[in-house]
Amino acid sequence: MNVVALLFLFSAGAVAQALLPTAPWLGQAHAPILLSLSLYYALTRPRAAALAAALAAGVLNDALGPIPLGYSSAGFAAAALAVSRYREEVFVWRHVTHMIFGALSSAGVTLALAALLQATGLVSLAPGQAALKTAGAFVLGAATLPAVYAVGRRIDTMLGLAAPDSTAARAWRSPLR
């Protein structure tokens, strides 16, 4: 059932990431939905599963654009391993945790990917463009991971893969009882 949930989330995430428009004032950065899905798995699954999900999400992210396959996978894997490393020290279910992890991971992956593409000569960005795109990725990462976490957690709960959170459990109770 884990694989079915993963395939569904990645398919829906890829479609949403491809269809959501970009904004010039955010440096044309895309909403990091696939990165957020890999971070969701890093927050809720063992490290090996999180790494596998990050590598798959990175390849899928590269397939959506003109980036050579595998470039995003390195950044996604590094971000997922970092988040997985610190998930025991933070409150995994809190939105502020999701915002911080999403913002830092998205900005870091964007900056690393821009540097990698610049070093290989595939893309040349002016420093101002790179800074604007990194800032846009920071903002979008802070907004995307909390929403992706909520959707992923809801699907995992509906499929019986996770127990309801205490706040979710209270929402399920009828006020008439």
Structure confidence by residue, pLDDT tens digits, 77-111:
999 999 999 888 887 778 888 999 999 999 999 99
Q: How many domains does the structure of the chain reveal? A: 1
Q: Is residue 158 part of a domain?
A: yes
pLDDT at 166: 57
Cα separation values, 102 from 4, 94, 166, Å: 24, 12, 23
On whether residue 20 sits in a domain, the answer given is no
7 domain residue, yes or no: no
- Would 143 be classed as within a structural domain? yes
pLDDT of residue 164: 76
d(CA 25, CA 22): 9
Q: Is residue 169 part of a domain?
A: no
Q: How far apart are CA 80 and CA 75, in angstroms?
A: 9
Sign of the CA dihedral running 135, 106, 110, 63: negative
Residue 41 is assigned to a structural domain of this protein: yes
Instruction: Please give the backbone phi and psi of residue 110, each rounded to the nearest 5 degrees, phi first.
Output: -65, -45
**Domain assignment present for 115:** yes
Weakly modelled stretches of the chain, pLDDT under 50:
168-177
Expressed as residue numbers, the domain containing 56 is 25-163
pLDDT for 16 equals: 95
Cβ neighbours of residue 57 under 8 Å, at least 6 residues apart?
10, 13, 34, 35, 37, 38, 72, 73, 76
Of 24, 72, 12, the closest CA to residue 4 belongs to 12
Q: What is the pLDDT of residue 91?
A: 79
**Domain-embedded: residue 93:** yes
Q: Give the sign of the dihedral formed by CA 128, CA 131, CA 134, CA 140.
A: negative
Q: Which residue is it, tokens 């933070």? A: 90
